[in-house]
């Protein structure tokens, strides 16, 4: 506020921000509805309906990464078990790569991390 008194600050998650970006930069004049999926540490989605960001009743309309695939599966950071993002996110891929390397599988990853899997 001190340096930019008229600047409005909005906090938003990556998927919603990506959806807004796609809507404004690519299709605002051509489309009114879109779904933008993001894959990183998790799996998310931003939804634009009739030119407005759709959040749903609980504010988590696009959080598809927390749909449960395997009720007895791996524990997710949300507290549930078996969420989609526990099987497609970067964290899972890193866990699986480490597991394979520890079990003796050859990988260029060891060279990249100079033998230290904690990197």
* Residue 98, domain member (yes or no): no
Q: Which of the 8 DSSP states describes residue 43? A: E
CA 19 to chain centre: 13
Spatial separation of the C-alpha atoms in residues 20 and 27, rounded to whole Å: 10
How many CA atoms within 13 Å lie on the side-chain side of 92?
Answer: 18
* Residue 53, domain member (yes or no): yes
The parent domain of residue 9 ranges over 1-64
SS3 assignment, position 26 = helix
pTM across the whole model: 0.74
Query: Does residue 36 surpass a pLDDT of 90?
Result: yes
* Residue 99, domain member (yes or no): no
In tens, the pLDDT along 65-84 reads 999 999 999 999 899 999 99
Instruction: Give the chain's domain count.
Output: 1
């Amino acid at each position: 506020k001190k340096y930019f008194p008229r600047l409005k600050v909005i906090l938003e998650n990556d998927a919603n921000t990506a959806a807004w970006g796609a809507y404004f930069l690519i299709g605002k004049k051509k489309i009114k509805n879109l779904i933008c999926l993001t894959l990183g540490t998790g799996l998310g989605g931003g939804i634009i309906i009739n030119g407005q960001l759709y959040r749903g009743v609980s504010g988590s309309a696009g959080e598809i990464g927390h749909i449960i695939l395997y009720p007895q599966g791996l524990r997710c950071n949300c507290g549930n078990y078996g969420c989609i993002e526990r099987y497609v996110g970067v964290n899972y891929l890193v866990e699986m790569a480490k597991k394979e390397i520890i079990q003796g599988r050859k990988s260029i990853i060891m060279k990249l991390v100079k033998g230290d899997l904690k990197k």
